[in-house]
């Protein structure tokens, strides 16, 4: 073992799985055992494994021109991918900054938000409202130790994160009930804005539907309230679509379910469906315009491999498959089918408290006591997650280990028969752990 082990490797009876090939929704390990990839790698492999069309597009680009400096140069595939993204992104989100991972796309979204305000003369707007329990990545610090000359528009670099409660209509942190609550979880953010001073807040960041935060699908008014708060207080709205984006939720972008246009979108995973790393930060025209007011307004942030031609070629081939095979629509249709198959677990399995989701993003929530909706403690939930992961792996179904909820995100190309196969395995595993 020469790499850092992921946490689960240390769990009893579970070792690192070495996979060698894949086709469609299946992958095979070194010993030839087949697994159903019920989480699309890490909610990535939307078009399925083994798509030679994408490999060929990437190889052709690599043979023709593998790399150019991103400083002052670009390539036709990079330009084509940017305009493709502009055409499918909502509203006037027309300008794209490419980087290599979801974390970087989020990092760029935060940097752009801070410098947008700086360029417009609002130099104190540096804090960002986020939601407790969300996941947006793990980069920390590279620009902090980078030379001073280019940093000021984004300083201080450690943002003042203002964590607020997220959306949880099953176990509401405010002990309220929808719709009587009138989305108090969103309305209550106004108090944080006042407490932290509106003129010091750069952005609100949230995933349209957050898996890390339990997979709750917020009521439409939730996002509309966030949009209104941002407009009222001059704050930018960032949608983290690293996981939601490009088909997973049954629409091109998760935010489309809520009828609002964010100012910035960060996206990554389904952009190449894992065939090569890439991410994109897409901004509205008005955000971009703030960076076109002369040399001092430029976004002096680089990414050596951002917009890498090989990744862009892979992304274009991948998006062509998604469109040609109607995989966004398939995610919506198969998502409804999957939800209908999982819902009965709430009645039949003693530890399943709730089943929720949208498109091919579903979460099965476990509780100790259904009547009182008492969750498992962190330690119990962790052990349960490891057990479920282990049992399913033995049965030939791959899922991430989870804390308190099991997320199923099969590839966007999944069929009804394959969903039947996956759900049958999950039902058996959950019966076993419920004892």
Interface positions with ligand PMP (CB under 6 A): 101-103, 106, 135-137, 207, 240, 242-243, 268
Q: Which is nearer to ligand PMP, 58 or 361 (CB)?
A: 361
Query: In this complex, which beta carbon is closest to ligand PMP, that of residue 397 or of residue 407?
Result: 407
Nearer to ligand PMP by C-beta: 408 or 429?
408
Question: C-beta of 213: minimal distance to ligand PMP in Å?
Answer: 9
Q: What is the CA radius of gyration of the chain?
A: 22
Q: Is the dihedral of CA 18, 20, 22, 28 positive or negative?
A: negative
Cα–Cα dist 210/239, whole Å: 11
Least Cα distance to 254 among 264, 240, 268 occurs for: 240
Which residue's Cβ has the minimum distance to ligand PMP? 102
Q: Nearest to residue 308, comparing CAs of 68, 148, 105?
A: 68
In terms of CB distance, is 103 or 418 closer to ligand PMP? 103
- Peptide bond between residue 156 and the one before it cis (omega within 30 degrees of 0): yes
Which residues, at least 6 apart from 199, have a Cβ–Cβ distance to it below 8 Å? 122, 124, 125, 234
Q: How far is the CB of 68 from ligand PMP (least distance, A)?
A: 23
User: Environment class of residue 228 by beta-carbon count within 10 Å: exposed (0-12), middle (13-18) or buried (19+)?
Assistant: middle
Minimum gap (Å) between residue 177 Cβ and ligand PMP:
27
Whichever of 136 and 251 has its CB closer to ligand PMP, that residue is 136
Contact indicator for 49, 27 with CB cutoff of 8 Å = yes
In angstroms, give the least distance from the CB of 67 to ligand PMP. 21
- Residue among 41, 196, 202, 2 nearest 110 (CA): 202
Instruction: Name the residue nearer to ligand PMP (CB basis): 102 or 410.
Output: 102
> Residue 136 or residue 401: which is nearer to ligand PMP going by CB?
136
The CB-of-243 to ligand PMP minimum distance in angstroms stands at 4
Q: 3-class DSSP state for residue 356?
A: strand
Shortest Å, Cβ 194 to ligand PMP: 28
Q: Sheet containing 127-131: give its strands across.
A: 93-99, 279-284, 264-267, 236-241, 201-206, 127-131, 161-164
> Which element (helix H / strand E) includes 83?
helix 76-88
Q: Which of 390, 334, 387, 385 is nearest to 362 (CA)?
A: 334
Structure tokens at 301: 């942030």
Give the separation between CA 13 and CA 10, rounded to whole angstroms: 8
* CB closer to ligand PMP, 135 vs 403: 135
Residue placing its CB nearer to ligand PMP in the complex, 331 or 352: 331
Q: Rounded to whole angstroms, how far apart are CA atoms 292 and 297?
A: 6
Cα 233 to Cα 201: distance, rounded to the nearest angstrom: 9
Pairing verdict, β 405-408 and 361-366:
antiparallel
CB 227 within 8 A of CB 237: yes
Smallest distance from ligand PMP to CB 310, Å: 17
**Closest distance between ligand PMP and the C-beta of residue 266, in Å?**
7
Q: Which lies closer to ligand PMP via its Cβ, residue 101 or residue 188?
A: 101
Which residue, 242 or 310, is less far from ligand PMP as judged by CB?
242
Question: Minimum Å distance from CB 44 to ligand PMP?
Answer: 9
Q: Considering the complex, what minimum distance in angstroms separates the CB of residue 257 from ligand PMP? A: 16
What are 241's strand-pairing partners? 267
CB of 268 vs ligand PMP, minimal distance in Å: 5
């Amino acid at each position: 073992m020469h790499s850092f082990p992921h946490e689960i490797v240390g769990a009893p009876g579970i070792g690192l799985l070495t996979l060698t090939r894949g086709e469609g929704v299946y992958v095979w390990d070194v010993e030839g055992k087949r697994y159903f990839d019920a989480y699309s790698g890490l909610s990535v492999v939307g078009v399925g494994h083994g798509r030679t069309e994408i490999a060929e597009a990437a190889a052709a680009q690599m043979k023709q021109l593998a790399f150019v400096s991103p400083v002052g140069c670009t390539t036709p595939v990079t330009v084509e991918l940017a305009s493709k993204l502009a055409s499918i992104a909502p509203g006037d989100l027309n300008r794209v900054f490419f980087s290599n991972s979801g974390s970087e796309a989020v990092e760029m979204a935060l940097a752009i938000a801070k410098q947008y305000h700086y360029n417009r003369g609002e130099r104190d707007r540096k804090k960002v409202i986020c939601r407790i329990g969300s996941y947006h990545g793990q980069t920390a610090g590279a620009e902090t130790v980078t030379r001073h000359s280019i940093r000021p528009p984004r300083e201080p670099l450690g943002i003042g994160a203002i964590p607020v409660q997220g959306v949880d209509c099953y176990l509401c942190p405010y002990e309220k009930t929808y719709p009587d609550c009138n989305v108090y979880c969103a309305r209550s953010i106004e108090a944080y804005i006042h407490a932290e001073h509106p003129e010091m807040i750069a952005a609100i960041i949230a995933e349209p539907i957050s898996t890390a935060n339990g997979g709750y699908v917020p009521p439409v008014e939730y996002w509309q309230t966030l949009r209104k708060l941002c407009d009222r207080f001059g704050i930018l709205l960032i949608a983290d679509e690293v996981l939601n984006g490009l088909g997973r939720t049954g629409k091109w972008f998760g935010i489309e379910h809520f009828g609002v246009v964010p100012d910035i979108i960060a996206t990554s995973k389904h952009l190449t469906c894992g065939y090569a790393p890439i991410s994109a930060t897409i901004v509205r025209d008005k955000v971009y315009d703030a960076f076109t007011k002369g040399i001092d307004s430029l976004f002096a942030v680089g990414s050596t491999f951002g917009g890498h031609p090989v990744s862009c070629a892979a992304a274009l081939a991948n998006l062509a498959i998604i469109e040609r095979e109607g995989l966004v629509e398939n995610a919506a249709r198969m998502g409804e089918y999957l939800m209908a198959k999982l819902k009965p677990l709430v009645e039949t399995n003693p530890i399943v408290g709730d089943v929720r989701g949208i498109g091919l993003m579903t979460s099965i929530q476990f509780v100790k006591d259904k009547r009182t909706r008492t969750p498992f403690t962190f330690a119990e939930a962790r052990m349960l997650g490891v057990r479920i992961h282990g049992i399913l792996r033995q049965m030939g179904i791959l899922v991430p280990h989870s804390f308190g909820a099991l997320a199923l995100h099969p590839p966007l190309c999944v069929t009804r028969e394959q969903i039947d196969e996956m759900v049958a395995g999950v039902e058996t595993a959950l019966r076993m752990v419920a004892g």
